[in-house]
Amino acid sequence: MLTIGLTGGIGCGKTATTILFQQKGVPVIDADQIAHQIVQPKQAALSIIIDQFGSHFLSSSGSLNRAKLRQYIFENPDEKKKLENILHPIIFNTMHEQLARQKSPYGILSVPLLFETRYQDQVDRVLVIDCSEHTQRLRVKNRDNINESDIDKIINSQCSREYRLENANDIIDNSGSLNHLKKETNKLHSLYIKISTGNNSSNPSK
């Protein structure tokens, strides 16, 4: 199966894009969704996190207080690697297990931190969903209702827009309308079908 790694900065429209691919019957495995699942009560990852960081990161219901842990990581950057070493192996193993069960010419692994985790080497092509930083900020403020300082921390914790674009095989500019996004998604869907079925002799890549 042809494996596409889909990524992009916060607010660039990764979720909207994956929904459009899913509507075409393309399997999408989302790293963020798996990250939520593996820290639910009675899951192994949650036990490891609490052992490493402390029970004060549990909510009253026994689930992980993600907002509190996220704020702690922002304020203590040295602890970020510790958390990543717990979560990333479990997330990526789960993603590949789920993708292996799919029957499709190609599948998408949606990984917001694809480059930051150096996971681009584990996929066949990298698709970057892009928009300007100004547009990112507006979308995040409207969607998540968080302040500029926290938005700065999130953007600065991710690789630069320039790096993503330089290392992409395919790029969707999602600065415009939903109709534009649909057209761009349709083009790439056709391309990926051709590549995965061997009907694209040039197999274009960057």
Q: What average pLDDT does this structure show over 9-16?
A: 92
Rounded CA separation 152/160 (Å) = 12
More confident residue, 150 or 113: 113
- The domain covering 1-27+106-201 belongs, at the CATH homologous superfamily level, to P-loop containing nucleotide triphosphate hydrolases (3.40.50.300)
Residues across the chain: 206
More confident residue, 76 or 48: 48
Q: Where are the domains of the chain?
A: 1-27+106-201, 40-101
Task: Say whether pTM exceeds 0.95.
Answer: no
- Comparing CA positions, the residue from 133, 146, 9, 140 lying closest to residue 71 is 146
**Main-chain phi, psi angles of 93, to 5 degrees:** -65, -40
- Comparing CA positions, the residue from 137, 177, 143 lying closest to residue 156 is 137
In this structure, are residues 183 and 26 in contact, taking their beta carbons and an 8 Å threshold? Answer: no
What is the per-residue pLDDT for 205? 43
pLDDT in tens, 169-204: 999 999 989 999 999 999 999 999 999 988 654 444
- Structure tokens, 18: 């994956």
Over 90: is that where the pLDDT of 19 sits? yes
In this structure, are residues 140 and 184 in contact, taking their beta carbons and an 8 Å threshold? Answer: no
Helix (H) or strand (E) holding 4: strand 2-7
What is the per-residue pLDDT for 200? 55
Q: Which of 68-77, 96-105, 165-174, 181-190 has the lowest mean pLDDT?
A: 68-77
- Structure tokens, 156: 């600065």
Eight-class DSSP state of 61? T
